Amino acid sequence: MTVIKYLRKTHDSDIGHIRTLTARDAAILVTLGYAEYHKPRVRRGKSINKKGGDNA
């Protein structure tokens, strides 16, 4: 399964809608310019710096 993001409005989705499709269907929509492959962003947690006596 492939995750895509729509670039154009279609009969079943709006612009910006993220959807999971089969690899074949996703490739067709990307080739026609209706969608692009979507990679979800990885959110990193806030870095916690501990201040202490022995930390260098």
How does pLDDT run across 5-40, given as a tens digit for each residue?
999 999 999 999 999 999 999 999 999 999 999 987
Does 49 map to a domain? no
Provide the edge-to-edge strand list for the sheet that holds 2-6.
18-21, 2-6, 35-37
Identity of residue 23: A
Q: Note if the pTM is more than 0.75.
A: no
For residue 29 the two structure tokens come to 């929509």
Does 56 map to a domain? no
Does 48 map to a domain? no
Q: How many CA atoms lie within 13 A of 54 on its CB side?
A: 0
- Provide the domain count of the chain: 1
Predicted confidence at residue 40, as pLDDT, reads 79
Res 50 pLDDT > 80: no
Range of the domain at 10: 2-37
Does 43 map to a domain? no
Does 28 map to a domain? yes
Does 10 map to a domain? yes
Does 51 map to a domain? no
